[in-house]
Amino acid sequence: MTDLQFRARRIKLLCTDVDGVLTDGSLHFGPEPGHTKAFNVRDGAGIKWLQKAGIPVAFISGLDSPSTWNRAKHLEVVDCFAGHLEKLPILEQLCAKYGLQMDEVAFIGDDLHDLPLLTRVGLAACPEDAVAEVRAAAHWIVPLYGGRGILRAVVEEILKAKGQWDEVVGRYSV
């Protein structure tokens, strides 16, 4: 068993940054106030599979955005924290809520404000285009850019390590 598989097998909560992880980090501004974001549909499928496996997912984002809240609502992500640059207190709150230790949590981040979480969790992942300091702190640099299905890759690794991936695939077999 690899170190990544060992870490993934222990995960009971997946937390993720949003901008630069679930999106490519772009914000699209038009003539009206506000902005839009593009989310990868494969990440959404991964979130639903993880939830069905009994593993909650949480969004912890520094940017308070209606797009983030809408995506969380659409995916039934009940733990959505947007507009929180100080992310560690949120992670501690989530660990208390679910009765977990930090080493039972996976976190995906891409920028400096994610380092306090990445250095404490059991599985720290980041996209290939994360900043150098985050890549240095991560247990796994997923070979995808932010917004290109990185969460889906982490979900697959977790479910495979737990022996639950075949059940997911089986739902779609003919």
- Domain boundaries defined on the chain: 3-25+35-165
3-25+35-165 adopts what CATH topology?
Rossmann fold (3.40.50)
Helices (H) and strands (E) in the chain, counts: 8, 8
- Position 173 scores a pLDDT of 86
Please list, in sequence order, all residues whose beta carbon lies within 8 angstroms of the beta carbon of residue 24, skipping any fewer than 6 positions away: 38, 145, 146, 147, 148
pLDDT of residue 35: 81
In which residue are the tokens 């937390």 written?
A: 15
135-163 pLDDT, tens per residue?
Answer: 999 999 999 999 999 999 999 999 999 99
How far apart, in whole angstroms, are the C-alpha atoms of residue 142 and residue 131?
Answer: 13
Identify the segments of the chain with pLDDT beneath 50: none
